[in-house]
Amino acid sequence: MLIKAEEAQPNENSPALSCLLPENSTLCFHSASINLSLYLQMLDKHFPAYSGNIRYIKPLNTAYINHEIQLVSWLSGFANLTLAANYHQQGSRQEITERAYYLLNYFSCNSIHSSLPNFISPLEKKYFLIARALMLEPQVVFLDKPFIGLNKQEAEKLREKLIPLANEFKLTLITNETGLDFIQRAQAQIIHYDAQKFHQFSHWKPFQHYLKRHEK
């Protein structure tokens, strides 16, 4: 277990969240009625909880990516990738370069690594944004609405990259993707908001039963 939330509210109008966020897995927040971005930002400590408590079991290296963040427009894709790692001196120059090429390979972006962000597609920008965060070897990655701005085909390609991400990089991936298809294929744990309460499900099957029961 990495993060424990105990009746944590981002503001006075939002419902309280109590959950346990596990290691090395994919976790999806799911709701059609409330803004889940605030909860991701609260868990990533962008602001203190209005009430309740959020406890990091051990010091964590986290990364947060949402649709508002952009790459640095005057740096190439590769330079964007290595910027933060060079800034924090996360290894030697050779190690940083090797890790960058590994991530470019994972996201199939080798051919565009020297292109400027304005000359790549929205999907490729998402790849670079995620890869840039992964360069710092985070233990938890918060992906806030990762499929915004992508068409159906691009969203599917991104899903294929995100599903094995937690296993590949030994991290916890937390997202507020609302698509049930992604949740099922990723075999993600789910935190679902319904009837003014958050419910945590460790697997798709119990969540599916819950949805069927409440649809009736």
Tell me the closest approach of the beta carbon of residue 193 to other proteins, in angstroms.
25
Q: Which range in 127-135, 173-181, 192-200, 204-212 contacts other proteins by CB under 8 A?
A: 127-135
Counting contacts by CB under 8 A, is residue 129 touching other proteins? Answer: yes
Tell me the closest approach of the beta carbon of residue 44 to other proteins, in angstroms.
9
Each residue of 56-95: b (16+ CB within 10 Å) or e?
Answer: eeeeeebbbbbbeeebeeeebbbbbbbbebeeeeeeeeee
Tell me the closest approach of the beta carbon of residue 93 to other proteins, in angstroms.
9
Site of tokens 């965060």: 133
**Both tokens assigned to 106:** 């994972």
| Sign, Cα dihedral of 67, 178, 139, 94 | negative
Instruction: Give one DSSP letter per residue of the chain, joined into a string.
Output: --EEEEEEESSTTSPPEEEEEPSSSEEEEE-SSS--HHHHHHHTTSS--SEEEEEESS---EEEE-TT----TTS-HHHHHHHHHHHTT-S-HHHHHHHHHHHHHHTT-GGGTTS-GGGS-HHHHHHHHHHHHHTT--SEEEESSTTTT--HHHHHHHHHHHTTHHHHHT-EEEE----HHHHHHHT-EEEEEETTEEEEESSHHHHHHHHHHHH-
Name which of 132 and 161 has its Cβ closer to other proteins.
Answer: 132
Name which of 39 and 64 has its Cβ closer to other proteins.
Answer: 64
Tell me the closest approach of the beta carbon of residue 212 to other proteins, in angstroms.
39
Counting contacts by CB under 8 A, is residue 71 touching other proteins? Answer: yes
Tell me the closest approach of the beta carbon of residue 6 to other proteins, in angstroms.
26
Name which of 135 and 183 has its Cβ closer to other proteins.
Answer: 135
Counting contacts by CB under 8 A, is residue 149 touching other proteins? Answer: no
Q: Which range in 3-11, 68-76, 105-113, 161-169 contacts other proteins by CB under 8 A?
A: 68-76
Q: Which range in 10-18, 125-133, 157-165, 192-200 contacts other proteins by CB under 8 A?
A: 125-133
Return the residue of 5, 42, 65, 165 that touches other proteins, per CB under 8 A: 65
Counting contacts by CB under 8 A, is residue 70 touching other proteins? Answer: yes
Counting contacts by CB under 8 A, is residue 88 touching other proteins? Answer: yes
Counting contacts by CB under 8 A, is residue 63 touching other proteins? Answer: yes
**Which positions lie near other proteins, rule CB under 8 A?**
63-65, 68-74, 83-84, 86-89, 129, 132-133, 136
